[in-house]
Amino acid sequence: MAERAAAERDLGSHLETHTIDGSITGLGCVAVGMVPALLAVVVALLAGPYGAAVQAMAVGLLVVLAITGPLVVIWAEGRRPDRSTRLHLFDRGLVVTGPGGTRACAWQDIRVTERVKTGGPPNGGWETVRWMTLSAPDGTELCALNTGSAVARSVRRALDGSYGS
């Protein structure tokens, strides 16, 4: 898909590809978040003053959930097309593929803006992060990269024409 889009825009040879967002998505987060809650319920049923029938049912529930839960999550996540956003770098431009579709742009058409974001957890530990945002000629944001990341350094080298130097 990326190679075809790059060929249509004459972006040259492929340099490298980066995945620029996390792989665990909504369904995965829900499944992972439910595990402690389900485990607590099963432990409470096993530790409580319940009879053997209730405890056997709790163990059975735990076994069924332990086997089917991950399989359902893996199956559902695997069926999502283009679930990760990928940045494909080429000699004369880039291609972004992902849930939002495929966008190809030449380097000279890409607008780069940088911003600083300061924040931190509620318990302190403030940190400042510099972000590089790449936008298409129509102003659509293609991606935002932490300027300290390897992919941002590769993009900067490609924009400067010094890739591979």
Encode pLDDT of 69-110 as tens digits.
777 777 766 665 556 788 999 999 999 988 778 999 999 999
**What pLDDT is recorded for position 28?**
60
* Share in percent of the chain as helix, strand, coil (round to 5): 40, 30, 30
Higher pLDDT: 32 or 19? It is: 19
**8-state DSSP, 139:** S
Can you give the pLDDT at residue 71?
A: 75
Beta bridge partners of 115: 131
pTM of the model: 0.62
Residues 16-53, buried b or exposed e (16+ Cβ, 10 A)?
Answer: eebebeeeeeeebeebeeeeeeeeeebeebeeeeeeee
